[in-house]
Amino acid sequence: MHSSPVEVQRFFLYAGHFQFYLRDEETYWDAVRGGDIDGQPWAGEASELVRIGVEPTSIAVGTARQGWVPMTLRVHASPPPTELLDEADHVVEADLALPTGRLSIYGCDQEPGTKNVLVLPPNTYRTRISYMPTRIVHPDTDDDELGDHFEYRVEIWVTTEETEVHVLKQGPTPWSG
């Protein structure tokens, strides 16, 4: 059985260095300071094929362009349908642990205090990121910048079993231009 979103949030993120983050920030930085993770999620094929970098309490989402990108977050009570696969350019899933329940969403170069924070029950969430072609652009978007326009749709739901990163739909390679 699939569910309708419990909560939907839409916003623009500044994707500096072609990325933005979904993370349990307090736990993430504690792990970096403690040497438990290196804070460098991009390894192997992550940037080109998978397009996300995954660490235990953080997902770095690679973007096709630098600058302001639209993002939609949908929180579900159970796994959502995969009906967007046909419309999406690329779709990937990964687990995201939120031990504090505070999901911070922000661009690589965004200042503290400009982060979007959603408070959820502490748990591990399956996270689906869909790269949806769009004509929605931020007013400050530089049309001379290279890269395709995508809306990054993030859907999350509680998961009871850990699962590896899984590409549901592979987009073309190279993928930005």
Domain boundaries, the chain: 5-169
Nearest-angstrom CA–CA distance, 127 and 22 = 10
Tokens of 130: 């869909």
pLDDT tens string, the chain, 177 residues long: the values are: 456 678 889 989 998 889 999 999 888 888 888 888 777 777 666 677 899 999 889 999 999 998 899 999 999 999 998 877 889 999 999 999 999 999 999 988 876 566 789 999 999 999 999 999 998 888 787 777 778 899 999 999 999 898 999 999 999 877 665
Tokens of 81: 């349908």
**CATH architecture type of domain 5-169:** Sandwich (2.60)
Tokens of 73: 């977050």
Nearest-angstrom CA–CA distance, 76 and 110 = 27
